[in-house]
Structure 1
């Protein structure tokens, strides 16, 4: 992210939108987590999303990964009160084993608060999410689509990968390609933004 987007992401209006609109939508689509669930947030930034995962979604613990060491330090300060319920690591969402030692099926939930559209190899990131999810686990996502990134405001102010951007349909199709079942999703503002929840099926039993 450049300075403009970093400032926006950490602004009070952005956090209000996340807390008062996006989180309630995701809770309506996927519910709170099963007690004892350990969750993962990819692109955890300054830790506000991980705090919501703990407090609003009821995670027993959360692991957060981010490429920017400065963001990891900020997240560490914000989340220090949660002690060993939180583990943070610098690294890429496209290689969670290297960043966190994430085993196959290690997480009951994975959260994406507008990070996948920043990743050039976003398809690989989705594959890592699917790998890291436990059977019955859920992927909560809030994304920005190619439609939004093509708008003049986004082009002028922010920096994003210029190739292989995804539409809402392409993102959902990629989830299906990796074996995830989309439970519910919606787009808003002319398909600029996509929110939803997908589940990793339990062998022989469908999704949770």
Structure 2
């Protein structure tokens, strides 16, 4: 992620969009988390999303990781008041066992606020999110598609992997391939962005 996108995602307009549009959409589809829930945010940046997970989604505690140690330092300052409800580490979303010692079925929810499109091995990141979800757990996602990344403005201003970027359909298909069930409908914005929630089935095939 280059300095332009880093500045954008930490800007006030981006935070307003996340708080007043994306979060309400995700809550409408997937709802709040049950009491005592443990959540994970991949690519937490400065910690704004993790704070929303605690405040708006009702997680009891959250683990959050980011590749950039500087972002982890910023997140640690932002989230200091939450004490031991928050654990922050520097690591990759493609290997959550190495980064967090995360076992299978470890979390009631995983949050992806626009990070997987930055990951060259994006399918591995999706597989890891599915692996660590507990049965009945939910994967809340907001993502940017290949359609957006191919726009001249994106190519000129931002730095993203070039090969094997996903369309909205390919991302949803990968969630299903990993055994996740799409809840409700996926919001698709001009083919550029998608927001939605998927659930890991419980043993009897139902959802939480």
Q: TM-score, normalising length from structure 2? A: 0.99
Residue 187 (structure 1) aligned with residue 188 (structure 2): yes
Distance 2:183 2:191 in 1: 18
Residue in 1 that maps onto 2:71: 71
Residue in 2 that maps onto 1:56: 56
Distance 1:114 1:37 in 2: 22
What are the within-5 Å matches in structure 2 for residues 101-140 of structure 1? 101-140=101-140
Distance 1:203 1:127 in 2: 19
Distance 2:187 2:50 in 1: 22
Secondary structure of 1:81's counterpart equals helix
Residue in 2 that maps onto 1:205: 205
Residue in 1 that maps onto 2:84: 84
Secondary structure of 1:202's counterpart equals coil
Secondary structure of 1:70's counterpart equals helix
Give the deviation of 1:205 after TM superposition.
3.4
Residues 145-180 of structure 1 show CA distances to partners (whole Å, capped at 9, x for unaligned) of 000001111000000000000000000000000000
Structure 2: give runs of 5+ residues left out of the alignment.
none
Structure 1: give runs of 5+ residues left out of the alignment.
none
Residue in 2 that maps onto 1:170: 170
Give the deviation of 1:186 after TM superposition.
1.1
Residues 93-136 of structure 1 show CA distances to partners (whole Å, capped at 9, x for unaligned) of 00001111111000000000000000000000000000000000
Q: TM-score, normalising length from structure 1? A: 0.99
Residues 15-74 of structure 1 show CA distances to partners (whole Å, capped at 9, x for unaligned) of 000000000000000000001001000000000000000000000000001000000000
Distance 2:161 2:115 in 1: 12
Structure 1 runs of 4+ off > 3 angstroms? Answer: none
Distance 2:191 2:183 in 1: 18
Distance 1:165 1:207 in 2: 30
Distance 2:158 2:206 in 1: 40
Residue 95 (structure 1) aligned with residue 87 (structure 2): no
